[in-house]
Each structure stands twice: as C-alpha cells, then as structure tokens.
Amino acid sequence: MKKKKWVSDLTFYISWATEFAGAIMGGTLIGYFLDKRWGTSPWLMLLGFFVGTIYAYLSFWQWAKKQVK
C-alpha cells in the first residue's frame, strides 16, 4: 500500500517541529536544573535556551542544505 504524499509530509513536519521544540525546551530545562543546583539563576537557563535554539536552527539549516542538493 502506498502512502499518500500529505501523510508523509505531515509526518516529516511533525517530526521536525518536535525536534525543534525539544532542543529548545531541553536546553532550557537543563539550564534551569543546573541553576537550581548551583544558585546561578537565571544565567544557565538562558545559556541553555540559546544553545538549544542554535542547535535547532543548525539542524534546520542542515536539512535545508540536503533538500537543495
């Protein structure tokens, strides 16, 4: 049985959105818990947020480069 194109596209976009949000939330949560442990609030949380955001955009950029080729 052949999948419909929209199902395949929807699966890809949901997967990518989950990775994007997970990278940002993961970095933020790790920073939050490290802030709680070491009392550096809010610096490590902010650092985690920015690292997660950079990772998410680099992941998207890498995917976009593959699509162009």
The full set of domain ranges for the chain reads: 15-68
Res. 8 pLDDT band, cuts 50 70 90: confident
Q: What is the pLDDT of residue 61?
A: 92
pLDDT in tens, 25-36: 999 999 999 999
pLDDT at residue 2, as a whole number: 65
pLDDT confidence tier of residue 63, bands split at 50, 70 and 90: confident
Reported pTM:
0.82
Give Cα 2 to chain centroid, integer Å. 30
